């Protein structure tokens, strides 16, 4: 191929005699269908050479530039390729390309350097399907038994398109190499190593309870500790820790609900006879479930329902207020407080406060008067001297 030599001569002549070098008229034709790829079936990432044929339809030698453009990705392929074609002959031009996978549309265009060219035959496009080759081993993905090249066959690879992952023990969609909890038992890999459980086995003691929910992950005979006393329920004589042995406890594995009043409740209570008052059992709770019923009674007779009902004491003297709290397992706990019914000024918190304030004022007045008299007496004695 004499293209290089001829082109060099033309460029030299063009520099010396520009008007002469490009004075010729004629037509350079980009032969449609002449583009070809070597290899014929390009593979992703493997260098491919694209050829195109240029025909000179003139009696003069002609020159030009050929451009290769990837319309699919809107990018140029290589640089502009100069071409020189002898009169009445054809010549090939090529460019090297590192293709991406998938269908690509390539546009080839010739830009003539002389006047009188037929622009209708200066360009054409061609489409080609580039075979995928993710691991770049030269074997197309369609026939590669290990697409990502990680050494694990596609049929055994949980992530056949990711060379860094191939296994997903807990099936959570995160590969074991990146998963902080490989077996998905609720304990991180580091936590399992620290306590001695197996980070690849969600149930190290094979007791049917995952390590993350097992109070005794290394003991196949224990997995729950209801009262958190360090003794597994299977061997604890008092599972719920309420002081009642399991054999005698109607709710042996249910923690008794807690009955209590709001922190600002005053006990013992001094209340006005016949005047309604409220106590708040809102802080009551069930450690292993939820509170379902709250009820009150006065001296075991008068009944009230709800968290904070209006309570009335009708008779003077000492009374017992009982709070009953039931949980969702049906277990009930009781708690009692003393109350004193009175019609005196002390029968309400406001009355008590008033009396206390009055006593405080009297005390201040008494000591102030006494101090004043003492100072006055000292003043008189000093005047006598």
Assigned domain for 233 exists: no
pLDDT tens-digit map of 269-283: 889 999 999 999 999
CATH (domain of 34): 2.60.40.10
Structure confidence at residue 5 (pLDDT): 47
Structure confidence at residue 15 (pLDDT): 43
Q: Are residues 44 and 15 in the same domain?
A: yes
Distance CA 154, CA 32 (A): 41
SS3 of residue 237 by DSSP: coil
| Least confident segment among 285-299, 300-314, 361-375 | 361-375
Q: What is the mean pLDDT of residues 191-202?
A: 93
Structure confidence at residue 226 (pLDDT): 87
Assigned domain for 109 exists: yes
Q: What is the mean pLDDT of residues 217-227?
A: 91
Q: Which of 311, 327, 344 is the last residue of a domain?
A: 344
139-152 as b/e, with b when 16 or more CB fall inside 10 Å?
Answer: bbbeebebbbebeb
Q: Are residues 334 and 364 in the same domain?
A: no
Domain range for 371: 348-385
Structure confidence at residue 241 (pLDDT): 87
Q: Are residues 337 and 356 in the same domain?
A: no
Q: Are residues 359 and 286 in the same domain?
A: no
Q: Are residues 358 and 337 in the same domain?
A: no
**Tally of CB atoms within 10 A around 100:** 14
SS3 of residue 248 by DSSP: helix
Name the band, by pLDDT with cuts 50, 70 and 90, for residue 1. Answer: very low
Is the per-residue pLDDT at 17 higher than 80?
A: no
Q: Of 261, 355, 351, 363, which is closest to residue 311 (Cα–Cα)?
A: 261
Residue with the larger pLDDT of the pair 257 and 15: 257
Structure confidence at residue 10 (pLDDT): 47
Is the per-residue pLDDT at 68 higher than 80?
A: yes
Structure confidence at residue 43 (pLDDT): 93
Tokens standing for 217? 């992950």
Q: Are residues 41 and 112 in the same domain?
A: yes
Tokens standing for 208? 């049917």
Domain tally, the chain: 3
Q: Which of 130, 161, 186 is the last residue of a domain?
A: 130
Assigned domain for 255 exists: no
Assigned domain for 113 exists: yes
| Least confident segment among 8-12, 67-71, 109-113, 321-325 | 8-12
Q: What is the mean pLDDT of residues 300-325?
A: 93
Cα-based angle 258, 282, 316 (whole degrees, multiple of 5): 90
The sign of the CA dihedral 279, 285, 286, 287 is: negative
Distance CA 63, CA 184 (A): 69
pLDDT tens-digit map of 351-365: 555 555 656 666 666
Assigned domain for 280 exists: yes
Residue with the larger pLDDT of the pair 44 and 2: 44
Name the band, by pLDDT with cuts 50, 70 and 90, for residue 22. Answer: very low
Q: Are residues 112 and 81 in the same domain?
A: yes
Q: Which of 130, 145, 179 is the last residue of a domain?
A: 130
Name the band, by pLDDT with cuts 50, 70 and 90, for residue 381. Answer: low
Assigned domain for 148 exists: no
Name the band, by pLDDT with cuts 50, 70 and 90, for residue 120. Answer: very high
| Least confident segment among 23-32, 52-61, 102-111, 333-342 | 23-32
Assigned domain for 169 exists: no
Structure confidence at residue 353 (pLDDT): 53
Q: Are residues 336 and 362 in the same domain?
A: no
Structure confidence at residue 269 (pLDDT): 82
Assigned domain for 260 exists: no
Q: What is the mean pLDDT of residues 333-362?
A: 67
Mean pLDDT, the chain, rounded, equals 86
Residue with the larger pLDDT of the pair 20 and 124: 124
């Amino acid at each position: 191929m004499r293209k290089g030599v001829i082109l060099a001569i033309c460029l030299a002549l063009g520099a010396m005699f520009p008007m002469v070098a490009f004075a010729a008229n004629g037509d350079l034709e980009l032969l449609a269908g002449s583009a070809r790829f070597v290899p014929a079936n390009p593979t992703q990432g493997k260098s491919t050479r694209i050829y195109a044929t240029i025909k000179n339809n003139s009696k003069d030698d002609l020159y030009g530039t050929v451009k290769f453009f990837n319309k699919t990705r809107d990018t140029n392929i290589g640089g502009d390729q100069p071409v020189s074609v002898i009169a009445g002959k054809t010549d090939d031009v090529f460019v090297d390309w590192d293709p991406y996978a998938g269908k690509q549309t390539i546009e080839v265009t010739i830009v003539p350097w002389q006047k009188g060219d037929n622009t209708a035959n200066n360009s054409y496009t061609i489409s080609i399907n580039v075979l995928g080759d993710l691991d770049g081993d030269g074997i197309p993905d369609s026939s590669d038994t290990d697409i990502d090249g990680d050494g694990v066959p596609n049929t055994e690879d949980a992530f056949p398109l990711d060379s860094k992952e191939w296994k997903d023990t807990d099936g959570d969609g995160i590969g074991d190499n990146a998963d902080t909890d490989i077996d998905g038992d609720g304990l991180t890999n580091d936590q399992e190593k620290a306590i001695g459980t197996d980070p690849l086995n969600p149930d190290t003691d094979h007791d049917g309870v995952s390590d993350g929910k097992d109070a005794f992950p290394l003991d196949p005979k224990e997995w729950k500790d209801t009262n958190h006393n360090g003794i597994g329920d299977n061997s604890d004589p008092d599972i719920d820790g309420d002081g009642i042995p399991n054999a005698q406890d109607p709710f042996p594995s249910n923690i008794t609900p807690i009955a209590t009043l709001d922190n600002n409740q005053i006990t013992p209570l001094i209340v006005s006879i016949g005047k309604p008052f409220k106590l708040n059992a809102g802080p009551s709770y069930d450690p292993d479930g939820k509170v379902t019923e709250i009820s009150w009674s006065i001296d075991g007779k008068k009944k009230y329902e709800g968290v904070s009902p209006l309570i009335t004491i009708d008779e003077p003297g000492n009374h017992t207020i009982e709070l009953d709290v039931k949980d969702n397992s049906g277990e009930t706990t009781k708690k009692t407080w003393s109350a004193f019914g009175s019609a005196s000024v002390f029968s309400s918190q406001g009355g008590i406060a008033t009396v206390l304030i009055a006593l405080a004022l009297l005390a201040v007045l008494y000591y102030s008067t006494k101090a004043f008299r003492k100072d006055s007496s000292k003043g008189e004695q000093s005047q006598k001297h």
